[in-house]
Amino acid sequence: MATRSYKQDAGLALVLAVAFFYLYAHLGLRLAQGIYFDYLNLAFDFDPPYFIQYLVGQLPDAVNYKHPLSMIFRPLASLFLLLGFAPKAAAVLVMALFGSLTAALVYGFCRLARFGRPEATAATLFFGASSTSLFTATIVESYGWANFSIVLVWFIFMWGARTSAVNTPARIAAAVLVAGVTLTNVMHALVAEFFRVWRSTNLRQAMLRTMLFGLYTGLALLVVLAVLQPQELWNVVARPVQTVKEVYWLRTKGDTSGLGDLLLTFFGYSFFSPAFAKVPIAPDVVMVDFRTFSYTRLEQVAVWGWWGFALAGLVTGLINKAAPYRLVVVPLLMVLALNVLLHLDYQFRGSLYIYAAHLHFGVFALAMGAAPWVSAQGSRLRLGYVGVLLALAGAAMVVNVQRAAALAPLFDTLAYPADAAAIRP
């Protein structure tokens, strides 16, 4: 019976993944018809040309300290090239693929957390239609891979909580991937490891074993880099002073936004896209971004409804003692706190939406805290909960697809000088 249940869940996860792949690919391929992927900073301060190169162009001759393993997805792009797709289209399809796989993992996480099948399906539909999930699955950048690797870390965590499995190779592989995609996101793997160990030992042992896990992850990351970029890695090791200088120069500079803007972006714009704001970044270049609470009245109803739903879910998740979901609540709260503290300082000219993928799943999972409890209640309550969640998913789909569809025509042609320093790679 259990095997049959897993097969049903795997089938439903596949259906959700295929549906989202079609949506993401459709929007991404339309965006690829214009010039957006050829320049930097045209929207959200994303840098598509660099990641186009990782996937289908000339590989860089240096280690990328922020995203050291971005080249590992290149074989997938090569497969799409062999199928006859143009380079930019092949890169888009890789992002759409990972966006759809992320949705499948979210469904799996929900089921492991004892969401009923209807609750898990509705939650996945909302996650997949949310702003960050949609835009990172259609724009060639590191954030779609970040979204996937973060969900993978917590999927494995929940799998271990549900089955008492150790899964050491899987945990290290997920930690290497999440760090290799975006180095600071290794905090997800370390926090997950700390709380996994702390369940069965004392605080001192948990801290020590987490440090060892971090060391193993770092060594594994170096081994992968030694295989993929041996000469580039040697240059890093052979020039320690220059390496320190280069890492320091990567630090963001300039004015930063406050806590209010941060929370509004991560808890609001990350799920429901507002109207595009136009941000001057050079005398002759204007970037589009999500920076202002610019919604129609109906869209505001959806946003406020989401906040009410999320708050109720968080409170329910905190007070509900049922395993295994309760085991993930405090770790996710810690990750959110660490990310907020990081991005109070680590910002770039007021662009915050660019970092939304680092917190997106954590906010989502905490907001779904009522689902395990509701799933054990009567059909009337479950029907009402699923209905509210489907309404949010439908609203997110309407709002975010509308914004994504409006993005492509903005960049069918280049409105700025092609040699402007602010947009040249």
Lookup: tokens for 215:
């060391």
Give the integer Cα–Cα distance in Å for 386 and 315.
Answer: 18
Give the integer Cα–Cα distance in Å for 275 and 277.
Answer: 6
Q: What is the CA radius of gyration of the chain?
A: 21
pLDDT in tens, 15-54: 999 999 999 999 999 999 999 999 999 999 999 999 999 9
Give the integer Cα–Cα distance in Å for 17 and 315.
Answer: 30
pTM of the model: 0.95
- Look at residues 69, 68, 71, 47 and name the one whose alpha carbon lies nearest to residue 59: 71
Q: Provide CB contacts within 8 A for 34, sequence distance 6+.
A: 408, 409, 411, 412, 413
Give the integer Cα–Cα distance in Å for 121 and 395.
Answer: 16
pLDDT in tens, 407-419: 999 999 998 999 8
Residue 350 φ/ψ region, left for φ over 0, alpha for ψ in the -120 to 50 degree band, beta for the rest: left
Spans in the chain with pLDDT lower than 50: 1
What's the confidence (pLDDT) of residue 6?
82
SS3 letters across 210-228: HHHHHHHHHHHHHHHHHHH
Give the integer Cα–Cα distance in Å for 153 and 192.
Answer: 8
Return contacts of 54-61, CB within 8 angstroms, 24+ apart: 55/90, 55/91, 55/94, 55/140, 56/81, 56/87, 56/88, 56/90, 56/91, 57/87, 60/232, 61/232
What's the confidence (pLDDT) of residue 2?
54
Instruction: Render 339-389 in DSSP notation, one character per residue.
Output: HHHHHHHS-BTTB-GGGTHHHHHHHHHHHTTTHHHHTTS-HHHHHHHHHHH
What's the confidence (pLDDT) of residue 130?
98
Instruction: Answer yes or no: are the C-beta atoms of 216 and 172 closer than 8 Å.
Output: yes
